[in-house]
Amino acid sequence: MDSYSEIHAKIKANPLTSNHGKRWSKDEEYMLVREINSNMSIVEIAQIHKRTESGINKHIEKMAYDDFKKNNESIENICIRYKISNIEFDKIIKTNEVKNGFIKKENLQKSENEILIEIRNILLQIEKNTRNISRKIKND
């Protein structure tokens, strides 16, 4: 089994992922945002940047979190800019805050459960609205 260092070296040696592990320049970050907003796939973006798909996704998460924490950007704008859902972004925030020691891991689980309850309530409301629409159609 290869060590982390050996795997890392193999990825860097591959011409398709030769930028793996390198710092991102500001120009490359601007380019990444433009590519996301032009609806390019992560696979295409990874090929252009010569990075792994995982590396692209992780950097998108890092940029989104930095915009939220350091630049006080609104969650709505961040979700639009990086084409991520509110639930995905909430997970990014919680993961980073656990990693940085701002919240305890056990509180993260509680938050996920609250999100699931919220989703359940939304689905129940949709079901109720669907029944009301069906009744109206039958009565017309």
For the chain, how many structural domains are there in total?
2
Instruction: Write down the pLDDT at residue 12.
Output: 78
pLDDT exceeds 90 at position 41 = yes
99 and 56 in a common domain: yes
Instruction: Give the mean model confidence (pLDDT) for residues 84-97.
Output: 90
pLDDT exceeds 90 at position 68 = yes
Residue 5 vs residue 89, higher pLDDT: 89
58 and 95 in a common domain: yes
Q: Tokens 């309850």 correspond to what residue?
A: 117
Range of 52's domain?
A: 4-103
For residues 16 and 50, is the Cβ–Cβ distance under 8 A? yes
pLDDT exceeds 90 at position 25 = yes
Mean pLDDT score of the chain:
87
Q: Whole-model pTM?
A: 0.68
54 and 14 in a common domain: yes
Percent of the chain with pLDDT over 90: 50
99 and 140 in a common domain: no
110 and 97 in a common domain: no
Q: Which two tokens stand for residue 57?
A: 């996704």
61 and 27 in a common domain: yes
pLDDT exceeds 70 at position 111 = no
131 and 96 in a common domain: no
Cα-based torsion angle of the residue sequence 94, 66, 37, 51 in order, rounded to the nearest 10 degrees: -90
Distance, in Å, from the CA atom of 91 to the CA atom of 115, rounded to the nearest integer, reads 10
125 and 70 in a common domain: no
pLDDT exceeds 60 at position 8 = yes
pLDDT tens digits for 57-66?
999 999 999 9
